[in-house]
Amino acid sequence: MRLAKFLANSGIASRRAAEEIIRAGRVTVAGQTVVDPARDVDSSSGVALDGRPVGVKAPELVVYAVHKPAGVVSTASDPQGRPTVVALVEVPQRLYPVGRLDADTTGLILLTNDGELAHRLTHPSFEVDKTYRAVVSGGPVGEAALRSLRTGVQLEDGMTAPARVRRVGTDTLEITIHEGRKRQVKRMCEHVGHRVLSLQRIRFGPLRLGELPPGAHRRLSAEEVSLLRAAGSADRRSARM
């Protein structure tokens, strides 16, 4: 593990701040001052900060809600150099997105270092609801299109599960699904003759986007995390069947 990451995982500072601490000559490894943040170390290397031993502790599990703007990708890194949703939240923990939103889709996405929770929130077997607000083309959305979306439509990768659909304007729908297929809401709307012009996720399980501004984030409370865990529980899934 790189020395800067070792310090960050130990709760000393963020990765960036840890690099500055190392370059300032405050860190030793086996009694020798090290100024290279990329130096490989582990718990047996004898890392010390200002003479005090440093050991890796289990990272605190956290969950953040983020309002993803358009043009930001839902990954931890991007080979094309595009801005990532992870870069919007600078914290000591190494975070990962819970599922994905297309680059041009905005709205609520969760970041966490809790792998078990992320799995439960994204695996199709747990059927966690996600609600999207879609502005579509093709004129007013008629009853026939709504019925098709509500009963399920046949896509190239199979029949979709029934969706909950609410018309909130002549060209605007709120669609709730629990599947996570690629571009699913866009493809569903296109199937019934309405191309999606803009798409925003406004709810993930029990959490709503609310008034969180684009690009902003907030850490979820313990109560909110408990609600997420309940949303991804097997008991809840069984109750829906």
The catalytically annotated residue of 36, 78, 102, 171 is 102
The question of whether 102 is a catalytic residue gets the answer: yes
| Per-residue H/E/C for the chain | CEHHHHHHHCCCCCHHHHHHHHHCCCEEECCEECCCCCCECCCCCCEEECCEECCCCCCCCCEEEEEECCCCECCCCCCCCCCECHHHCCCCCCCEECCCCCCCCEEEEEEECCHHHHHHHHCHHHCCCEEEEEEECCCCCCHHHHHHHHHCCEECCEECCCCEEEEEECCEEEEEECCCCCCHHHHHHHHCCCCEEEEEEEEECCEECCCCCCCCEEECCHHHHHHHHHHCCHHHHHHHC
Catalytic residue positions, numbered: 102
